[in-house]
A = this chain, B = another copy of it.
Amino acid sequence: MSEISLRKARSIIKTTLAKGREMDLKPLSVVVLDAGGHIKAFEREDGAAAGRFQIAHGKAYGAIMLGMPGSAQMARAEQQAYFMAAVNGVFGGQVIPVPGGVLVHDKRGNLVGAVGVTGDTSDNDATAALAGIEAANLVGTA
């Protein structure tokens, strides 16, 4: 299934934001992309900065395009910065290689999309995303 349903996407966003409130994080922004990397749903909490959509999208989009979650992208960036910089370029500037970009699979192992979260530290962003994905009965790889 490459088209994550809007119902699942809403659920992921809802629980991700709830996790953020539970962890007392800064205002979060959450995007859900389908397996083709196309935007399914998005919400930016009140108080979040104007450009948070682009950051959230960059995390999730990079995960889909590279098949690598944020933590793996960050490891690569730290090891070979010029490669990830070039990757950013080849994708029109749309890749942000840090935690918070989480690949989403269904229970049978099919890629169904990606979630991008931004607003707090990258690690906390990723934690919130994983909570949202799990509550939607899907599998997140951060």
Residues of chain A at the chain B interface (Cβ within 8 Å)? 1-3, 5-6, 9-10, 34-46, 48-51, 53-55, 57-58, 64-68, 77-78, 80-98
Say whether A89 contacts B81, CB under 8 Å.
no
Say whether A78 contacts B87, CB under 8 Å.
no
**In the assembly, how many copies of this chain are there?**
4
- Given the complex of chains A and B, what is the CA–CA distance between A22 and B20 in angstroms? 35
Query: A6-B45, A49-B66, A92-B92 known; 18 other A-B pairs, CB under 8 Å?
Result: A2-B3, A5-B46, A35-B50, A37-B51, A39-B53, A40-B44, A41-B43, A48-B67, A51-B65, A54-B91, A55-B66, A82-B84, A83-B96, A83-B98, A85-B85, A85-B86, A86-B93, A86-B98
Q: Is the interface of A mostly helix, strand, loop or mixed?
A: mixed
